[in-house]
């Protein structure tokens, strides 16, 4: 059994992480920390966990968390990097669900997050936790940077095209939409029901924090800098991301190449337990992945032209956050990768 701690267990990502960890057959959940809720029962804050855990929230402290095999950080950006160095000195392995270790360049981190990085030496050793491209490195990692939700959907959608040099990677477009849970559990006017219901809008068009993360990841695959226009949108639903991805072919292809594209994606993801390539002509739906650690993808070539369209859907709280974090934990500790993650999506 793995002894597990969760730092920052009061947000939506933390709640989903607790739900999945409690049901994991090889996990003993030992500590859940929160400064604001310290001393209160976890199940009082999250009544869906009533009968599944008697734990109380505690203050985050390296002395107690060092008793764990692995610690998850579901905290605001800038928190994990202050505690992680002490934990890894104590032999604890870390999965950070925030952005503290995603960007390898500390100058880029400061540009997008407005603060100096607190442990640049740890940053250089952190492994980006997208199993579909970094599984071997994740296995031996001490610190895993769990990918953002948008980057997961966008990267998995573009990946086979970039790997095979099929498209112009200087003019990629990602038109992505997310449910309001992606904004977190904190009070915000923009996510009030009266503001978000029956409404649909773009945001952060001039630059979203996930943009450099996506460009870094796809740039490593391409072995050079890529060009990407990324526009996120807020849609009036609780969970889910749909990313409509556009790329222009860089090579001449036969008119029936759509079939070959599906074969390409099927071959690339054949051994990936949480990527599902749909049959030609099938449209992915966010509700088909609600509560599941699955990315569903479909590929199109409208009018047999030179534009490829990929639709990629995930649950932003599962494959986009907590589920992927547990997938990484399973890899790190030589457990079956799907362990604790075989939930069927919720429908309707």
Mean pLDDT of the chain: 95
Of 112-121, 141-150, 194-203, 206-215, the range with the lowest mean pLDDT is 194-203
Average pLDDT over residues 224-246: 97
CA distance 93 to 103: 19
Residue 29: inside a domain = yes
CA distance 316 to 97: 12
On whether both 80 and 209 belong to a single domain, the answer is no
For the beta carbon of residue 256, count every other beta carbon within 10 angstroms. Answer: 9
Instruction: Name residue, tokens 């990085």.
Output: 117
**pLDDT band at residue 102 using 50, 70 and 90 as cut-offs:** very high
In this model, does residue 49 exceed pLDDT 90?
Answer: yes
On whether both 57 and 97 belong to a single domain, the answer is yes
Question: The domain spanning residue 54 has which CATH number?
Answer: 3.40.50.720
Residue 7: inside a domain = yes
Burial 13-41 (b: 16+ CB within 10 A, else e): bbbbbbbbbbebeebebbbbbbeebeeee
Percent of the chain with pLDDT over 90: 89
On whether both 120 and 169 belong to a single domain, the answer is no
Q: Is the dihedral of CA 190, 196, 201, 205 positive or negative?
A: positive
Domain total of the chain:
2
Residue 174: inside a domain = yes
Residue 138: inside a domain = no
On whether both 84 and 200 belong to a single domain, the answer is no
On whether both 283 and 164 belong to a single domain, the answer is yes
On whether both 181 and 262 belong to a single domain, the answer is yes
Question: The domain spanning residue 172 has which CATH number?
Answer: 3.30.360.10
Average pLDDT over residues 222-240: 97
* 149 included as an active-site residue: yes
33's tokens:
């920390």
- What are phi and psi for residue 286, nearest 5 degrees? -60, -35
Residue 330: inside a domain = no
CA distance 263 to 257: 10
On whether both 108 and 247 belong to a single domain, the answer is no
On whether both 175 and 300 belong to a single domain, the answer is yes
On whether both 56 and 193 belong to a single domain, the answer is no
On whether both 163 and 121 belong to a single domain, the answer is no
Residue 338: inside a domain = no
Residue range(s) defining the domain that contains residue 244: 150-316
Residue 165: inside a domain = yes
On whether both 114 and 212 belong to a single domain, the answer is no
Q: Is the peptide bond before 348 cis (omega within 30 degrees of 0)?
A: yes
96's tokens:
């950070």
Please report the pLDDT score of residue 192 as a whole number: 80
Each residue's pLDDT tens digit, 133-185: 999 999 999 999 999 999 999 999 999 999 999 999 999 999 999 999 887 77
Paired residues of 95 in beta bridges: 72, 144
Each residue's pLDDT tens digit, 255-309: 555 568 999 999 999 999 999 999 999 999 999 999 999 999 999 999 988 999 9
Each residue's pLDDT tens digit, 8-36: 989 999 999 999 999 999 999 999 999 99
Percent of the chain with pLDDT over 70: 98
Shortest CA distance to 100 belongs to which of 146, 62, 150, 139? 146
Beta strand 172-178 with 241-248: parallel, antiparallel or unpaired? antiparallel
Active-site residue, from 68, 119, 149, 295: 149
Residue 44: inside a domain = yes
**pLDDT band at residue 195 using 50, 70 and 90 as cut-offs:** confident
On whether both 113 and 157 belong to a single domain, the answer is no
């Amino acid at each position: 059994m793995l002894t597990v701690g969760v730092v920052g267990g009061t947000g939506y990502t933390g709640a989903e992480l607790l739900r999945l960890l409690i049901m994991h057959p090889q996990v003993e959940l030992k500590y859940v920390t929160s400064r604001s809720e310290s001393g209160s029962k976890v199940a009082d804050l999250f009544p869906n966990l009533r009968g599944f855990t008697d734990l109380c929230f505690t203050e985050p402290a390296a002395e107690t968390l060092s008793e764990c095999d692995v610690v998850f950080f579901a905290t605001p950006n800038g928190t994990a990097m202050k505690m992680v160095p002490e934990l890894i000195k104590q032999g604890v392995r870390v999965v950070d669900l925030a952005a503290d270790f995603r960007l390898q360049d500390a100058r880029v981190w400061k540009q997008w997050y407005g603060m100096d990085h607190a442990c640049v030496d740890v940053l250089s050793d952190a492994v980006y936790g997208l199993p579909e491209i970094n599984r071997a490195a994740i296995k031996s990692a001490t610190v895993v940077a769990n990918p953002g939700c948008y980057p997961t959907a966008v990267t998995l959608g573009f990946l086979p095209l970039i790997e095979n040099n099929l498209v112009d990677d200087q003019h990629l477009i990602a038109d992505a939409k997310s449910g309001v849970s992606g904004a977190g559990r904190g009070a915000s006017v923009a996510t009030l029901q009266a503001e978000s219901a029956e409404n649909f809008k773009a945001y952060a068009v001039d630059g979203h924090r996930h943009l450099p993360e996506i460009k870094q990841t796809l740039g490593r695959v391409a072995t050079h800098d890529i060009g990407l226009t990324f526009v996120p949108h807020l849609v009036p639903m609780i969970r889910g991301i749909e990313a409509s991805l556009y790329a222009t072919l860089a090579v001449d292809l036969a008119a029936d190449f759509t079939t070959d594209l599906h074969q390409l994606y099927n071959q690339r993801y054949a051994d990936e337990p949480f990527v599902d390539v749909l049959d030609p002509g099938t449209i992915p739906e966010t509700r088909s992945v609600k509560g599941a650690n699955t990315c569903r993808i479909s590929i199109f070539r409208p009018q047999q032209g030179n534009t490829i369209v990929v639709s990629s859907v995930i649950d932003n709280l599962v494959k986009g956050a907590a589920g992927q974090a547990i997938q990484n934990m399973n890899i790190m500790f030589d457990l079956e990768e799907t362990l604790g993650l075989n939930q069927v999506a919720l429908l309707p």
